[in-house]
Amino acid sequence: MTDEDEPSATDCHETAIGILQGLHMLAEEADHLRLSRTYAALCKAIRACQAEHARMGSDARPRPRRYVTLH
């Protein structure tokens, strides 16, 4: 893997925002459909993403990608 393959901080920030927006939309839909456990799980995921995003800071380098092989 080269440095060109590594995501930039800007790419990670934009990705994080997109993920949070998607989670918010899913949580709203789950709430509307009265799927309480799904709604609670999505809210927990939103809080985890927000905490990780806040922890990264503006000049923090993103974590290297990890490749997983399923057996």
Domain ranges of the chain: 8-56
- What pLDDT, in 10s, does the model give residues 49-64? 888 878 776 555 555 6
pLDDT in tens, 19-51: 889 999 999 999 999 999 999 999 999 999 888
Q: Shortest CA distance to 50 belongs to which of 21, 9, 26, 25?
A: 21
pLDDT at position 61 is: 58
The answer to whether the beta carbons of residues 44 and 36 sit under 8 Å apart is: no
pTM of the model: 0.64
pLDDT at 69 over 70: no
CB-based burial, 29-58: b 16+ in 10 Å, e otherwise: ebeeeeeeeebeebeeebeeeeeeeeebee
